[in-house]
Each structure stands twice: as C-alpha cells, then as structure tokens.
Amino acid sequence: MRVSSLLEELLETLEVLEDRELLPAMREAEEDLKVEKIRPYDEVAREGRAYGSYSPESRARPT
C-alpha cells in the first residue's frame, strides 16, 4: 500500500471519528444489520439483478 493511500485512509477515519452525528449513525446501522432490520446493499442489488429489477445502468441514455 502506498503511503499516500494510507494517509488518505487515516484522514478519512479521523474525519468519521470526530463527526458527532456520523459515528452514532454508523453504529446504529451496524446494529440494524446484526438484527437483520436492514440488509447489505450488495445482497439487495444481487437479488434485483437476478429478478431483472431496475438498475441505474439500464436507464442510461445513449450519447
């Protein structure tokens, strides 16, 4: 891993940790996942593709 990438990740982590609204929201989301109140995006997206549901890519306009 490059030093610049590592520093960027550290700065992002510090920003999250000092955000008094974001950190509690992230903790709440993690708890919701644990109790299956919500599902991960990749799981929902995979189901949508399997059933042929809407995807942003399918709505792209030709250039």
Helix ranges (H only) for the chain are 3-18, 22-34, 41-50
Q: What is the DSSP string of 32-44?
A: HHHTTSS--HHHH
**Contact between 54 and 48 (Cβ < 8 Å):** yes
Q: What is the pLDDT of residue 53?
A: 61
Q: What is the pLDDT of residue 36?
A: 87
pTM, two decimal places: 0.47
Q: Which residue in the block uniquely carries the two structure tokens 């942003």?
A: 56
Ordered mean pLDDT values, 10 residues apiece, the chain (63 residues): 89 90 90 89 88 62 50
Q: What is the pLDDT of residue 10?
A: 94
